[in-house]
A and B are shown apart, each in its own frame.
Chain A
């Protein structure tokens, strides 16, 4: 079975699961885990957009 994800989808999936693991392992209580996981998710996706636009600027 082959799955083909486009680049953004791959980044989204990666960010989602990595953020869950980061949230659980880097904080002590449930509330902080959820908040930190959400923060990591936003940072991952934000980084994807920033990197994309930076590459556009460099190419231009």
Chain B
């Protein structure tokens, strides 16, 4: 009797872990830091959110260019992959037609890189959320 209860709780725990190992990365991609927040890592989640969102918004404010899906040269493709990492920020910027870029401003290039790096950092954060979900990290 005790063994079947223990077995059931182990299975339930494994199912919860498996669900969270999918939900946390997905939510974390969409909203930077959310993958940590839903796993009750409050400080980490907030810091990740603030850092990644600030970098992306600063990039937009610096007149950086947002890459769209393209079949162009490798750097354009990599730029797109980086930008996509920002999740909802990228989708919202696309919808609002932001990130047109401004060749006239020298620092606009920095803005472009800020947005790409924000996306790439979010990919790292998503991986971290996944590792927390599978128990590899506390």
Identify the A interface with B (CB < 8 A).
1-7, 10, 13-14, 17-18, 20-22, 24-25, 28-29
Contacts and interface: CB of A to CB of B under 8 A. Distances in A.
Contacts of A28: 137-138
Nearest to B47: A20
B80 interface: no
B61 A21 contact: no
A5 B62 contact: yes
B interface secondary structure, majority: helix
B62 A21 contact: no
B125 interface: yes
A51 B79 CA distance: 23
A17 B51 contact: yes
Contacts, number: 60
Interface size class of B (residues with CB under 8 A): 20 to 34
Interface of B: 44, 47-48, 51-52, 54-55, 58, 61-63, 105, 107, 110, 113-114, 117, 121, 124-125, 127-128, 137-138
